[in-house]
Amino acid sequence: MLLQLDKAGIRFGGLRAVQDLDLAIQEGQLVGLIGPNGAGKTTVFNLITGIYAPTEGDIKLSGRSIVGLGPVKVAASGIARTFQNIRLFGGLTVEENVKVALFRHQGATLAESALRLPRYQQEEREAEEEVRKLLETFGLLASAHLGAEELSYGLRRRLEIARALATRPKLLLLDEPAAGMNPSEADDLMHLIRWVRDTFGVTILLIEHHMPVVMGICERITVLDHGARIAEGTPAEIRANPLVIEAYLGAEAHA
């Protein structure tokens, strides 16, 4: 099992934001996490990525607990994420946004970098080639030297995913990647996410309110309501679940 949450939960004072959450994701799966606003979805992402430490239960990656590691060590262990509100480095170019994600894989010392010694130069060449391939893969190569803020909304989403993949994650967390997109952009994104999973062999867990995206690409879906899991299953099972219809999908499910 790649990711496992075992009775995980967190309290903020008297508020139990997430409670007794069991979640198991196998390597290579594409899984959705849905629920109404305030259900605790982003809090779950913050627990997985070490921004919050659970006050109960455990979180394991490849069988090892990652509780208490903090965001930097969790990222180093193989988890990357994007955010609902795009968080690119606005002062950097498209190319630099991706390249910065490769730094943790480089072993050259400060002295080697300052003196531009052979190991530093070799790593720089390898990093530039990897960045070029990622930008080409995501249709961003022609925009490599533009500022990240100059890209269209859809291309900024692509850049954020490319940057996350540059960390070479085992698990990619996507927080509402279709937010703010029109139906055509959301459809393109849906195919992109599936393609990323198949091409890069990365496991994906995504939060999304755009039901056509969730139902169109996710193999399994977990539904939260008030911090608790109320359903889990295939898209067809979730679509027909009366608890889900009542809590979240409503008339849209019938449609």
Q: For 152-173, write each residue's pLDDT tens digit.
A: 988 999 999 999 999 999 999 9
Q: For 61-118, write each residue's pLDDT tens digit.
A: 999 999 999 999 999 999 999 988 888 988 899 999 999 888 766 556 665 566 566 6
Pairing of strands 64-65, 56-61: antiparallel
Residue, of 20 and 210, whose pLDDT is higher = 20
How sure is the predictor about 125, in pLDDT bands with cuts at 50, 70 and 90?
A: confident
Q: What is the pLDDT of residue 231?
A: 95
Domain ranges of the chain: 1-78+169-255, 88-166
Q: Which residues pair with 11 in a beta bridge?
A: 16
Q: Measured in whole angstroms, how far is the alpha carbon of residue 98 from the centre of its chain?
A: 15
Cα–Cα dist 103/115, whole Å? 17
Q: What is the pLDDT of residue 253?
A: 42
SS3 214: helix
Q: What does the angle CA 203 – CA 8 – CA 227 come to, to the nearest 5 degrees? A: 95
Helix or strand holding residue 222 (H, E) = strand 220-225
Cα–Cα dist 96/146, whole Å? 10
Q: For 189-201, write each residue's pLDDT tens digit.
A: 889 999 999 999 9
Return the structure tokens found at 39. Answer: 């259900």
- State the CATH class of domain 1-78+169-255: alpha beta
Single pTM value for the model: 0.87
